[in-house]
Structure 1
Amino acid sequence: MLIVTLLIAASSPQLDRCLNSGEAARGVTPAMAACFGADYRRADARLNATYRATLRRLPPARQAALRQAQRGWIARRDAACPLQTGDGVGTIERLNHPACLTRETDRRTAWLARFR
């Protein structure tokens, strides 16, 4: 429960609402996992919109550099947020993995917004 509490402390308003309603509010893992998955999809959509807007305002040479940097970031994000599987992995991983992806994606979105 402590891990879930820590994850919730850094959450979005939409995630908070989702986790405080229905089965998620009762601690049903699949419902909570759906909340975290939806939060990641929202973060990914913000990242994609910011990436496109950033590309549009850059000269062609900087666009190429950003594309290359973004490909590298995807690999680093995936390495930072591996999906744990196998014996001994608990259901909390269904919350930890999308929470990690969201955190890394939000950081990247902020970086992209400042990219020149």
Structure 2
Amino acid sequence: MRLLLPLGCLLLVLASPARADDEYDACVGDAGAVMPDMGACGAEWIDREDARLNEAWQALLAELPEDSHPKLRDEQRAWLAYRDASCLFYLDAVEYGQVGRYLSYPSCRAFVIAQRTAALDEIRKSVAPI
């Protein structure tokens, strides 16, 4: 039962919506109401989340023994397929229009990447030497 509480707390953290970073907020403010400019802000946010993910990935690989790398790479490939398939419903112009394409999709994608980064960080912490 003691394991369930920390695991439950972790799941709550991972399920929390991603908060846009300050750079995204400033960029959107500067974009005014120009949707393509807001979309560019979202793309930059996704790029920053990808950079954080890559840092977490490299840090985790550095902590793991070589023989664990293939299984982790398989897991990451499966997650990449999930990432690539996620959030696409926001690109449906009929349902979500420009708001979906330029605001909701980048926010959703950044959130998915941030979740994976947090998961990789937790794995690294669990295998790091004490």
Give the corresponding residue for 2:65: 59
Give the corresponding residue for 1:90: 97
| TM superposition score normalised by structure 1 | 0.80
Gaps of 5+ in 2: 1-17
Shift of 1:85: 4.3
Return the letter of the residue paired with 2:28: L
Give the corresponding residue for 2:111: 103
Distance 2:41 2:51 in 1: 15
Distance 1:62 1:78 in 2: 25
Runs of 4+ in 1 over 4 A off after TM superposition: 85-89
Query: Once the two structures are superposed, what CA deviation does each residue of 1:12-71 show, in whole Å capped at 9, x if it has no partner?
Result: 1111111122xx1x2110111111110000000110111011111100222111111100
Task: Answer 1 or 2: which has greater helix percent.
Answer: 2
Count residues with an aligned counterpart.
Answer: 105
Q: Determine which structure has more spread, i.e. the larger CA radius of gyration.
A: 2
- The question of 1:17 aligning with 2:26 is answered yes
Overall identity of the aligned pairs, in %:
35
Gaps of 5+ in 1: 1-8
TM-align CA RMSD: 1.8
